A and B are shown apart, each in its own frame.
Chain A
Amino acid sequence: MRIRTFRKLCRDAIQNISRNRVMSLASIIAVMSALFILGAILVLAFNLNHIAGGIESKIEITAFLDPSVDNPKAEAIVEELKRLDGVYEIEYISKEEGLAEWKRDLGDKGDLLDGYMGQANPLPDKLILNIENPEYVEDIIMKLDAMPRVDKVNYSKEVVDTIGRVANIIRTAGLIMVILLVILAMIIINNTIRMTVYSRRREINIMKYIGATDSYIRWPFILEGLILGLVAALFAGGLVFGGYILLLNKSGTMFGGSSLLNLFRLLPVEAVMYDIGLVFLLVGTGVGVIASALSVRKHLRV
């Protein structure tokens, strides 16, 4: 195709959009609404996934070290354990710290432990391993059990299993919603574009009769689909992100500094923006273009 021709086709596409203002606007609003709903669900799904990850990261394994292990050796063990898959944080609590903590927990009755200070401290040093997600737990337990300097390993299988299950349910629910909404958005966009093309089937027919080639007829419609999809995606993106920023501001003041609720803190807007923006562009313009091409083809058979 010559550049001159392509320029004309682009001009035709833009002219068609502006001269079919009402239909164009209706299409943009319909596509934008579909994308907006999809975006809202995506934001929800991303946050659910984040929450599921947060719940999973609450899995802890406590390893008590052999009393013979001194400080430098303990550090070597920490280094070794850090290399294990799935371990993202290790907290080393020396027996002194352990005792102090215990004392604090006892409050007024803390004096009872006074006799155990120093050499008399019966507590072992301990390591608290934070695990990324439940599937690593068994392996890590096995490795800990095999380590001669680790005396005892503590964890709750039930808690680990429950956390794994809850996280999976949350993720699956999010994924199903997203898939359904993507399909729904595609159907809505497809129908909208087909309608705009259908309303101009006569025009397509006329072009055929005066000898326009199929591709000459098709291109302005494809470009129109692209432009309508793009504009709708931009508006939908603005609405979703604007809405999300508002929600973030509200939720920030709502949760305050509570650490438990930190788990349910919303993701920052940067964390969701790029993925959702990409989905909007792909779904909006992709479906716009494909739907245009397919529905024009149907009317080209003359």
Chain B
Amino acid sequence: MIQFKNVTKIYPDGTKALSDISFNVGSGEFVFLVGASGAGKTTAVKLITKEIEPTQGGVSVNGRDITKLKKREIPHHRRGLGVVFQDFRLLPDKTIYENVAFAMEIVEARDRDIRRQVPGILAMVGLGSKADCFPDQLSGGEQQRASLARAIVNNPSVLLADEPTGNLDMETAMDIMKVINMINHRGTTVIMATHAGEIVNAMKKRVITFKKGVIISDREKGGYYNED
């Protein structure tokens, strides 16, 4: 499904974010990428969304080497991924319904399908009654639910989450994790970068631990290790 093969990433300022890392994530898996700030987990996520290019090595998604994608193929590549961020990244001038619908509009979905699907997804993430609210009228947890709804409305094969609970209190974070877990149970592969140890320990999923740009452990049903 997702494969990192001897990937090294050195940023233009000389920072070596990843050095020679390799790992595979199978279809339907739930994987945590953990590590302290600067360990390289966000870099790994950005490589999958093709926001950045590896300095060396290859990244493939669904068997396709994405480093070889042409510029005009990038939007299509990203549509196959659902992405959620720590800061939600909802469009501020659109309602929650419109934010989710927008993800369908860009893939030129039919109006009928949009009208049918969006309310269902919003209900699934627990926002059925907030469809007409604007993002700034919602709490952080609700905004993250909306962002999850947007991420999965087109049925992506992969859900990428970069610190999705970083701005939330523990209780809200656990609620969000329940939604993400539910999405995983629908068959979507989930890759989540986080340094929230408590959450990682509670979920008992595969954990890949990064430290200073290298993978120091990769365990099934692992826990969050303080590397120091």
Pick from A2, A19, A203, A213: contact of B106, CB under 8 Å: A213
Evaluate contact between A211 and B92: CB separation under 8 angstroms: no
Return chain B residues, CB-CB under 8 Å to A213. 72, 75, 106
Pick from B75, B80, B150: contact of A212, CB under 8 Å: B75
Contact residues of B between 131 and 184, Cβ < 8 Å to A:
150-151
A226 shortest CB reach to chain B, Å:
19
Return chain A residues, CB-CB under 8 Å to B92. 203
Evaluate contact between A211 and B107: CB separation under 8 angstroms: yes
Pick from B76, B78, B107, B108: contact of A4, CB under 8 Å: B108
Contact residues of A between 1 and 22, Cβ < 8 Å to B:
2, 4-5, 8, 15-16, 19-20
Contact residues of B between 93 and 128, Cβ < 8 Å to A:
93, 102-103, 105-108, 111
B120 shortest CB reach to chain A, Å:
19
B108 shortest CB reach to chain A, Å:
6
Tell whether A254 is near chain B: CB-to-CB under 8 Å. no
Evaluate contact between B93 and A203: CB separation under 8 angstroms: yes
Pick from B93, B106, B111: contact of A210, CB under 8 Å: B106
Tell whether B193 is near chain A: CB-to-CB under 8 Å. no
Return chain B residues, CB-CB under 8 Å to A207. 91, 102, 106
Tell whether B51 is near chain A: CB-to-CB under 8 Å. yes
Q: Is the interface of A mostly helix, strand, loop or mixed?
A: helix
Return chain B residues, CB-CB under 8 Å to A15. 93
Return chain A residues, CB-CB under 8 Å to B51. 209, 302
Contact residues of A between 195 and 237, Cβ < 8 Å to B:
202-203, 205-214, 216
Return chain A residues, CB-CB under 8 Å to B91. 203, 206-207
Evaluate contact between B106 and A16: CB separation under 8 angstroms: no
Q: How far is the CA of A127 from the CA of B105 in the complex (A)?
A: 79
Q: How far is the CA of A214 from the CA of B49 in the complex (A)?
A: 16
Q: How far is the CA of A15 from the CA of B97 in the complex (A)?
A: 14
Q: Tell which of B76, B77, B91, B111 has the most Cβ of chain A within 10 Å.
A: B91
Tell whether B219 is near chain A: CB-to-CB under 8 Å. no
Tell whether B79 is near chain A: CB-to-CB under 8 Å. yes
Q: Mark B48-87, 1 if CB is under 8 A from A, else 0.
A: 0101000000000000000000001001111111010000
Q: How far is the CA of A233 from the CA of B103 in the complex (A)?
A: 35
Tell whether B89 is near chain A: CB-to-CB under 8 Å. yes
Known: A19-B93, A20-B93, A203-B92. A211 touches B76 (CB 8 A): yes
A301 shortest CB reach to chain B, Å:
10
Q: How far is the CA of A162 from the CA of B18 in the complex (A)?
A: 80
A59 shortest CB reach to chain B, Å:
63
Contact residues of A between 34 and 52, Cβ < 8 Å to B:
none
Evaluate contact between A5 and B108: CB separation under 8 angstroms: yes
User: What are some 13 contacts across the A-B interface (CB < 8 A)?
Assistant: A4-B108, A203-B92, A206-B90, A207-B91, A209-B51, A209-B78, A209-B83, A210-B78, A210-B102, A211-B77, A212-B106, A213-B72, A216-B106
Name 13 extra pairs, CB < 8 A, besides A211-B77, A216-B75.
A2-B108, A4-B108, A15-B93, A19-B93, A206-B90, A208-B75, A208-B78, A209-B49, A210-B103, A211-B80, A212-B75, A213-B106, A302-B51
Listed in ascending order, the chain B residues whose CB lies under 8 Å from chain A are 49, 51, 72, 75-81, 83, 89-93, 102-103, 105-108, 111, 150-151
- Which 5 residue pairs of A and B lie closest in terms of their CB atoms, listed nearest first? A211-B79, A211-B78, A19-B93, A212-B106, A213-B75
